[in-house]
Structure 1
Amino acid sequence: MTEAIAHIGQDRYSTKIDIGTRSLMADEPPSRGGGDTGPAPYELLLASLGACTAITLRMYADRKQWPLASLDVQLRLHGQGETLRIERVLAPTGLEPEQNARLAEIAERTPVTLTLKHGVPIDTKLV
């Protein structure tokens, strides 16, 4: 099971996030009233998708013993509210065109990709 705890105090929007033995900060940029002490929530969402995509595709290439030298995953969030969409651009180096095409297919089935596409129920409780 994966767990995280987000804690916010009096420092406007600066939020400490504890994930197991690791911590990171989230915040809003000054243009939104924050102190820019860390990525904004949607930036963290894109980071999660990018990391999952990169790791999954690296695992796949390694399993296939493909000579993937590197992979950049560029992500952009477009729209607002109900019209949000994510643009993902893969830039692998070291592979043949057929292998690149296969990586693009696999990217559509990474765990975080599927979670975002299908949604996940959120049960909120107050203690």
Structure 2
Amino acid sequence: MEMLINFPGGKRVNATYKGFTVKTDQPKSEGGNDSAPEPYDLFLSSIGTCAGVYIVYFCESRDIPTEDITMTLCFERNESSHLMEKITIDVKLPPAFPQKYKKAVIRAAQMCTVKRNLVHPPEILVTTNGEL
């Protein structure tokens, strides 16, 4: 599998994969134009949306409507390392959500592939022209 990363100018960096282009930029305070999310914002949103799609799969398999389900992702960042120390996802279920599935929907969200990759991170190599 391959994803193409290109540099369209300024502080913008884009990723093209499966026919979609994901655009990023830096805030004006960092020399960007603030025209798109920062890459780290996409990292955080990928965790939330991944957990969310597992909730969708869970609910669809049980004919539970998802329109009134929301989630909030909160995070704590270490100020000196700028790395996340804690990420909390709060699933807000509507009153009509079946009580017997509350713990199961949490387990479903925890199956998120992005989260599981953080628990068991891949090796990441950076090369130039295919050489280390």
TM-score, length basis structure 2: 0.80
* Amino-acid identity (%): 19
Separation (CA, whole Å) in 1 of partners of 2:86 and 2:32: 25
CA apart distance, 1:95: 0.8
> Could you list the per-position Cα deviations for residues 53-87 of structure 1 after superposition, in whole angstroms to 9, with x for gaps in the alignment?
11111011111233433332222332133553222
Separation (CA, whole Å) in 1 of partners of 2:72 and 2:41: 12
Question: 1:83/1:66 Cα in 2 relative to 1: closer, same or farther (>3 Å)?
Answer: closer
3-state DSSP class of the match of 1:84?
Answer: strand
**Larger Rg: 1 or 2?**
2
What is aligned with 1:6?
A: 5
Provide structure 1 residue ranges, at least 5 long, that are not aligned to the other structure.
none
TM-score, length basis structure 1: 0.83
CA apart distance, 1:9: 4.4
> Could you list the per-position Cα deviations for residues 19-53 of structure 1 after superposition, in whole angstroms to 9, with x for gaps in the alignment?
22111210111122221111111110111111111
Separation (CA, whole Å) in 1 of partners of 2:60 and 2:103: 16
Higher helix share: 1
Deviating above 3 A after TM superposition, structure 1's stretches of 4 or more consecutive aligned residues are: 67-70
What is aligned with 2:107?
A: 105
Provide structure 2 residue ranges, at least 5 long, that are not aligned to the other structure.
none
Separation (CA, whole Å) in 2 of partners of 1:88 and 1:32: 28
Separation (CA, whole Å) in 2 of partners of 1:6 and 1:71: 34
Are 2:13 and 1:15 equivalent residues in the alignment?
Answer: yes
Question: What amino acid maps onto 2:55 in structure 1?
Answer: L
| Cα RMSD for the two superposed structures | 2.0
Separation (CA, whole Å) in 1 of partners of 2:18 and 2:120: 26
What is aligned with 2:55?
A: 57
Question: What amino acid maps onto 1:34 in structure 2?
Answer: G
Separation (CA, whole Å) in 1 of partners of 2:121 and 2:68: 30
Separation (CA, whole Å) in 2 of partners of 1:113 and 1:71: 20
CA apart distance, 1:97: 3.0
Between 89-98 and 48-57, report the one with greater CA deviation.
89-98
Separation (CA, whole Å) in 1 of partners of 2:4 and 2:43: 16
Separation (CA, whole Å) in 2 of partners of 1:40 and 1:55: 22
